């Protein structure tokens, strides 16, 4: 066939590099509704749920049982289930029905009913719902701080710049897992230099992550993964009960924790039980709530290629974020994984969370170039900072970031690199050279930095664990090497662990270490003239993007 030049041009567009597949419910390739999804139902006998979503108690798997026993308000479930799904969907969008009333009603419905409710909402209605149901009044944002070399000096510098730019939380991970103690330490130090009060996390194997948290080298945890089918849980050597236990282990030491889930994981693991991605994700979120977690990171997360490949998949992703909010959970709404070769498609996907605002719009905006992002790439990266700032300014939307000046960036990066140099030196860990400090200060990414001595770093990382180095040792090292202000900030972060207020739903800290959460600053949106508005000093800050025309220059 002679080829049409038009079609040939279209075929070569980046969007056609993405993977798409037809719906295949038997293998779970279906976004919002599978013919095999159960209908919502509940039966209570002697104060116990004996039937859930068409299944009798004796046929429950451990997820059903966990949800029936811990995630549904048994006292009000029959009353809530008597309200038709369509009515609930309308209440979610109705500005006259307050958030609190919906939370109460929802606390009695089952996962299958929740999926039915969501199926009544289009994306604009879901965004309305998110604007109203988000836990914290003010939206927030989270960064990924990683690099291909696992270079702790660059981690500190990028953490400082990220904090300066407005991220309320920063998360790192490693290419080589054994680097974790050094990564966590560098992130903790760097973040406090950019802006005191930023929370930090090191995503690692669960036991390691817990240990780093207990030692005070991190200030929150996020990588407690839950799944929507029993088989995937078992494959991971886990149950909802073990996750609840791990959650309590963190809580007992005063650490903020959120769980992680997301559509597509069961499909990727080949165990979707023929159910829709939305229904399975509802089960995950009920498990999260039942385990007593204050929040969740969801929105498909690292499996985004799966919902992204099927019809209605991106609607489903926003849908699952909204389900989290409807259950009263903090929602860190993904956008944290490379999703499309098309700039248009990846931006459109993010608008669904950016416009209504979520507790954390990204659960990992790459605050480094994507080639350095060790979560395999985020949907937005350091090269998109100015685009993002302009989007905030164009639409008068608070996306959690702000424009910065080059001088400020260089100042905080340099201080962070030097602080890591001082702390590593003081603790007798692998040395940081002046050349490395200089390179990290002015670098865009790890292509601009000299390599580290990996063997020496890995030995030092082992030393940190063996010698029992804790957050307090980091405070001492900072204080004794002249970084008194940073020492005070890190110490204040450790104090939060004793106070515990930041374990409340959707908590972040301001630069005075005061908590802003869904409890003391709850979302009070009820239509025009209410709720969080971008105004005053924050609006002025958003307006000040670089590259504005100076009329006097004409």
Partner 1 sequence: MQVNEELVRQITEAVMAQLRRQEDASLPGEEALEKSSSFYGSVSDKAKPPSLAGRERINPVKSDYSSYPKAKKGTDPKEVVIGVGAAFQREIKKTICNLPLEEVLKNLRAGIEEEGMVPRVVKVLDTSDVCFMALEAAKLSGSGIGIGIQSKGTTVIHQKDLYPLSNLELFPQAPLMTLEIYRQIGKNAARYVKGEQVIPVPCANDPMSRPRYQVKAALMHIAETEQLSPELGMIEWEG
> Binding segment for partner 1 among 68-76, 77-85, 239-247, 453-461 (CB under 8 A)?
453-461
Phi then psi for 169, rounded to 5 degrees? -135, 150
521 forms part of the interface with partner 1 (CB under 8 A): no
Question: Could you tell me how many residues of this chain bind partner 1 (CB under 8 A)?
Answer: 56
Binding string, 255-274, against partner 1, x = CB under 8 A?
A: ---------x--xxxxx---
Q: How far apart are CA 347 and CA 365, in angstroms?
A: 13
148 forms part of the interface with partner 1 (CB under 8 A): yes
Q: List strands edge to edge, sheet with 295-297.
A: 220-225, 256-260, 295-297, 330-332
Q: Tell me, yes or no, if 436 is annotated catalytic.
A: no
**Furthest-apart CA atoms within the chain: distance in Å:** 80
Binding string, 273-302, against partner 1, x = CB under 8 A?
A: -----------------------------x
Q: Is 342 left (phi over 0), alpha (psi -120 to 50) or beta?
A: beta
Q: List the beta bridge partners of residue 56.
A: 51
Least gap, CB of 69 to partner 1 (angstroms): 27
Eight-state DSSP code of residue 452? P
> Binding segment for partner 1 among 184-192, 351-359, 372-380, 394-402 (CB under 8 A)?
372-380
Q: How far apart are CA 364 and CA 143, in angstroms?
A: 4
Least gap, CB of 7 to partner 1 (angstroms): 8
The two beta strands, 42-45 and 220-225, are unpaired
| Closest to 285 measured CA to CA, from 63, 539, 505, 12 | 63
Choosing from 54, 98, 236, 425, the residue that interacts with partner 1 (CB under 8 A) is: 236
Helix (H) or strand (E) holding 101: helix 99-106
Binding string, 374-393, against partner 1, x = CB under 8 A?
A: x-xxx--x------------
Q: How far apart are CA 344 and CA 330, in angstroms?
A: 28
Q: Which of 142, 154, 276, 338 is catalytic?
A: 142
Alpha-helical segments (H) within 46-122? 62-66, 77-81, 85-93, 99-106, 111-119
Q: How many CA atoms lie within 13 A of 62 on its CB side?
A: 13
| Closest to 368 measured CA to CA, from 214, 179, 151, 203 | 151
Q: Which of 107, 183, 363, 378 is catalytic?
A: 363
Q: Tell me, yes or no, if 297 is annotated catalytic.
A: yes
Check: CB of residue 89 under 8 Å from CB of residue 102.
no
Give the nearer residue to partner 1 in terms of CB position, either 225 or 505: 225
16 forms part of the interface with partner 1 (CB under 8 A): yes
Judged by CB under 8 A, the chain residues 176 through 195 that form the site for partner 1 are 176-177
Choosing from 59, 205, 387, 434, the residue that interacts with partner 1 (CB under 8 A) is: 205
Task: Give the E-state strand segments of 40-180 in sequence order.
Answer: 42-45, 48-52, 55-56, 142-144, 169-172
> Binding segment for partner 1 among 64-72, 91-99, 337-345, 475-483 (CB under 8 A)?
337-345
Other C-beta atoms lying within 10 Å of the C-beta of residue 23? 18
Q: Tell me, yes or no, if 336 is annotated catalytic.
A: yes
Least gap, CB of 311 to partner 1 (angstroms): 11
Choosing from 127, 157, 306, 314, the residue that interacts with partner 1 (CB under 8 A) is: 306
The token pair that represents 296 in the structure block: 């969740």
Choosing from 108, 139, 308, 518, the residue that interacts with partner 1 (CB under 8 A) is: 308
Catalytically active residues are 142, 144, 171, 222, 297, 336, 363
Q: Which spans of this chain sit near partner 1 (rule: CB under 8 A)? A: 7, 11, 16-27, 148, 175-177, 205-208, 235-237, 264, 267-271, 302-306, 308-309, 337-341, 370-374, 376-378, 381, 454-455, 458-459
């Amino acid at each position: 066939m002679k080829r049409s030049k038009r079609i040939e041009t279209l075929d070569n567009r980046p969007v056609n590099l993405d993977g798409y597949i037809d719906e295949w419910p038997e293998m779970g390739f279906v976004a919002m509704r599978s013919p095999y999804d159960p209908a919502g139902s509940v039966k209570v006998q002697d104060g116990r749920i004996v039937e859930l979503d068409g299944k009798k108690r004796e046929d429950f798997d451990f997820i059903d049982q966990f949800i029936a026993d811990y995630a549904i308000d048994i006292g009000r479930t029959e009353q809530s289930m008597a309200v038709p799904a369509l009515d609930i969907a309308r209440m979610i969008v109705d500005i006259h029905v307050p958030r609190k009333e919906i939370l109460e009603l929802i606390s009695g419905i089952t996962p299958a009913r929740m999926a039915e409710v969501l199926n009544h909402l289009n994306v604009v209605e879901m965004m309305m719902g998110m604007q109203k149901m988000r836990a914290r009044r003010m939206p927030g944002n989270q960064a990924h701080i990683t690099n291909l070399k696992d270079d702790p000096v660059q981690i500190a510098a990028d953490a400082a710049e990220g904090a300066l730019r407005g991220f309320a939380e920063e998360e790192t991970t490693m290419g080589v897992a054994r680097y974790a103690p050094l990564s966590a330490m560098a992130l903790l130090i760097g973040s406090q230099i950019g802006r005191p009060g930023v929370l930090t996390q090191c995503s690692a194997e669960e036991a390691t992550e817990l240990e780093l948290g207990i030692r005070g080298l991190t200030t929150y945890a996020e990588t407690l993964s839950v799944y929507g089918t029993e088989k995937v849980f078992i494959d991971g050597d886990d149950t909802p009960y073990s996750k609840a236990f791990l959650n309590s282990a963190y809580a007992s030491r005063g650490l903020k924790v959120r769980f992680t889930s997301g559509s597509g994981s069961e499909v990727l693991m080949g165990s979707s039980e023929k159910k829709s991605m939305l229904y399975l994700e509802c089960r995950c979120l009920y498990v999260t709530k039942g385990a007593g977690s204050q929040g969740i990171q969801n929105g498909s997360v690292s499996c985004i290629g799966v919902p992204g490949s099927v019809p209605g998949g991106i609607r489903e992703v926003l849908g699952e974020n909204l389900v989290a909010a409807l259950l009263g959970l903090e929602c860190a709404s993904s956008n944290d994984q490379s999703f499309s070769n098309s700039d248009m498609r990846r931006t459109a996907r993010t608008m669904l969370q950016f416009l209504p605002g979520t507790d954390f719009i990204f659960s990992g905006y790459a605050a480094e170039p994507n080639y350095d992002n060790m979560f395999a790439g985020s949907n937005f990266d350091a090269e998109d900072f100015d685009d993002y700032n302009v989007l905030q300014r164009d639409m008068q939307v608070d996306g959690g970031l702000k424009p910065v000046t080059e001088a400020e960036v260089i100042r905080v990066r340099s201080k962070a690199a030097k602080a890591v140099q001082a702390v590593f030196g003081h603790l007798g860990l692998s040395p940081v050279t002046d050349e490395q400090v200089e390179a990290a200060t002015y670098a865009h990414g790890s292509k601009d930095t000299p390599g580290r001595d990996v063997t020496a770093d890995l030995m030092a990382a082992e030393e940190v664990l063996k010698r029992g180095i804790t957050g307090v040792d980091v405070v001492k090292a900072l204080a004794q090497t002249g970084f008194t202000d940073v020492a005070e900030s890190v110490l204040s972060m450790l104090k939060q662990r004793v106070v515990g207020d930041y374990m409340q739903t959707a908590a972040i800290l301001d630069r005075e270490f005061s908590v802003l959460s869904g409890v003391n600053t709850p979302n009070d949106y009820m239509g025009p003239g209410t709720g969080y508005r971008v105004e005053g000093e924050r609006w002025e800050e958003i307006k000040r993007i670089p590259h504005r025309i100076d009329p006097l220059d004409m």
